[in-house]
Amino acid sequence: MRILLTAALCLLAAFPLRAQTATPPARLGLCAACHGANGHVSMPGVPHLAGQRLDYLREALKQYRDGRRNIPVMRAAIGPVSDAELDALARWYSAQAPQAAP
Ligand code: HEC
């Protein structure tokens, strides 16, 4: 668990956030290490988030936070996030343009 989190933080340091037009949520940096700042992913096993339905993303994040989805890497990443922060993250990724099919 600690190793995963350290790895995520190292990735975050290696790939700083690019400038975005809208203001990104404060906690986006950690998420971006795995999901990309715009929700387009190249890492195996990590889901794309761009353009996903807002209610789906919000519910998924609540499930990780509450432990109903017991995936250690996401539980560690989301942590004890407030409803407002959780909502901002869901809104951000939902508003990104989906990735074109290859
Ligand atoms: C260390 C890599 C990593 C980090 C950091 C991370 N995630 Fe994830 N995320 C994953 C993986 C792997 C999954 C797939 C987990 C599963 O099988 O449920 C996932 C799943 C998700 C899902 C569910 C997608 C779906 O289609 O059901 C959402 C939403 C999500 N992450 C958002 C976030 C947010 C927001 C953050 C920042 C707080 C974040 N993630 C940080 C790796 C990461």
The lowest-confidence range among 41-45, 49-53, 93-97 is 41-45
Both tokens of residue 84?
A: 């407002």
How many CA atoms lie less than 13 Å away from 102 in the CB half-sphere?
Answer: 3
- Would you place residue 96 in the very low, low, confident or very high pLDDT band (cuts 50, 70, 90)? very high
Q: What distance in angstroms lies between residue 46's CA and the mean position of ligand 1's atoms? A: 7
The lowest-confidence range among 2-16, 46-60, 61-75 is 2-16
The identity of residue 12, as a single letter, is L
CA 84, CA 33: separation in Å to the nearest integer?
A: 21
Query: For a substitution probing ligand 1, which of 10, 34, 48, 86 has the most ligand atoms within 8 Å of its CB?
Result: 34
Q: What is the number of the ligand 1 atom nearest to the C-alpha of 93?
A: 35
